[in-house]
Amino acid sequence: MLNQTILIGRLTHDLEIRTLEDGRKVSDFTVAVQRPFKNMDGNYDTDFIRVTAWEGLATSVQSYCTKGVMIAIKGRLQTWKYDLNDEKKLSMLEVIAERISYLSSPHRGDET
């Protein structure tokens, strides 16, 4: 079995690290990923994908990852299920980052 994804996109906000009660560090952030095709209006849609980085990776990305930076993320998909009430359930999908590469600095005018 294989669970692997690669994303290339821009950060929507500066990263912040939280320290959990057990001492582990985690950073949740969103990456804006442009679709490779145009919609019916002739524009490119963008998906906003939630990513989580843990421990050393979370610490290392905080220094370099600011709003607008283009990054490549290699990771795995993970689902979460929440029971809202007896009739409704919510499923969430996120990417757990395993590797992050920096592809640009913010505001360099290198939009692709």
Q: pLDDT tens-digit profile of 17-55?
A: 899 999 999 999 999 999 999 999 999 999 999 999 999
Cα(61)–Cα(100) distance, rounded to whole angstroms?
Answer: 8
Confidence at residue 48, expressed as pLDDT on a 0 to 100 scale: 96
- Over residues 53-69, the pLDDT tens digits come to 999 898 888 777 788 89
User: pLDDT: is 3 or 64 the higher one?
Assistant: 3
If one counts every other C-beta atom within 10 angstroms of the C-beta of residue 45, the result is 11
Q: Which residues contact 88 (CB under 8 A, 6 or more apart)?
A: none
Look over the chain and give the mean of its residue pLDDT values, rounded to a whole number. 88
Domains of the chain, each with CATH number or no CATH: 5-102 (2.40.50.140)
Residue 112 scores a pLDDT above 70: no
Nearest to 49 by CA among 18, 66, 72: 72
- Over residues 65-99, the pLDDT tens digits come to 788 899 999 999 999 888 887 788 888 899 999 99
